[in-house]
């Protein structure tokens, strides 16, 4: 039962820790349908640098299949946040390697994972591209690896307002979790000479 618990019982959008999980330490049967409730009091999840052991239970039917898993004491992490980094990749940025180091150093400080922080990156110059979406990567290691391969797009103009508006209209609409439920943080690196036209009109 412990093996089945670790392998098959999971909760979505949660950074789980199953190191000490033993499903079946608590059992309750239902004679009406021959199902039973198997619980793991030591199931825990990550929130930032902390671990919370809240326990979880799973309903197992008469065919020994898991039909429903719940963690009644589970609460949302304070690190539940969507971050979109709007990155200047125009010709006015040199050397590009310093921008990559800046970006990677920031990413390493985030608690990235299911139920915690999601990160997306947009790069702008004359044009705007999304390097990766908010839900593309689910760990710090994967995000840092992706960021290390971002190449400078270039461009003779630095259209900062366009970059921010693109991120707001495209990235958020496609990948951001419900606005009411998530704390939003915007970070962007801007060159010395930016064409900021449109910011006041767009109320950015």
Domain ranges of the chain: 2-70, 81-193
Cα–Cα distance for residue pair 41/26, rounded to 1 Å: 8
Question: What tens digit of pLDDT does each residue of 125-139 get?
Answer: 889 998 998 889 989
Who contacts 178 (Cβ-Cβ below 8 Å, separation ≥6)?
none
Question: What tens digit of pLDDT does each residue of 111-164 get?
Answer: 898 888 889 899 998 899 989 988 899 899 999 999 999 999 998 888 888 888
pLDDT band, very low/low/confident/very high, at 188 (cuts 50, 70, 90): low
pLDDT band, very low/low/confident/very high, at 204 (cuts 50, 70, 90): very low
Name beta bridge partners: 81.
117, 183
Q: Write out the CATH class of domain 81-193.
A: alpha beta
Structural contact between residues 42 and 56, judged by C-beta atoms closer than 8 angstroms: no
CB atoms under 10 Å from CB of 165, counted, come to 18
């Amino acid at each position: 039962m412990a093996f089945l618990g670790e392998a098959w019982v999971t909760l979505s959008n949660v950074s789980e820790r199953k190191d000490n999980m033993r499903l079946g330490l608590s059992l309750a049967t239902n004679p009406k349908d021959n199902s039973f409730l198997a619980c793991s009091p030591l199931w825990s999840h990550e929130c930032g640098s902390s671990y919370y052991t809240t326990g979880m239970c799973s309903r197992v039917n008469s065919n020994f299949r898991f039909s429903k898993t719940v963690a009644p004491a589970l609460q949302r992490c304070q690190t539940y946040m969507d971050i979109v980094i709007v990155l200047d990749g125009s010709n006015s940025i040199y050397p590009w390697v310093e921008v990559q180091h800046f970006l990677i150093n920031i990413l390493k400080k985030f608690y990235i994972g299911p139920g915690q922080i999601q990160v997306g990156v947009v790069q702008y110059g004359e044009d705007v591209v999304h390097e990766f979406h908010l839900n593309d990567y689910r760990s710090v290691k994967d995000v840092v690896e992706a960021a290390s391969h971002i190449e400078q797009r270039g461009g003779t103009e630095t259209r900062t307002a366009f970059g921010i508006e693109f991120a707001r209209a495209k990235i958020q609409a496609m990948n951001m979790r419900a606005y009411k439920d998530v704390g939003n943080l915007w970070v962007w690196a801007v060159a010395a000479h930016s064409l900021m036209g449109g910011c006041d009109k767009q109320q950015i």
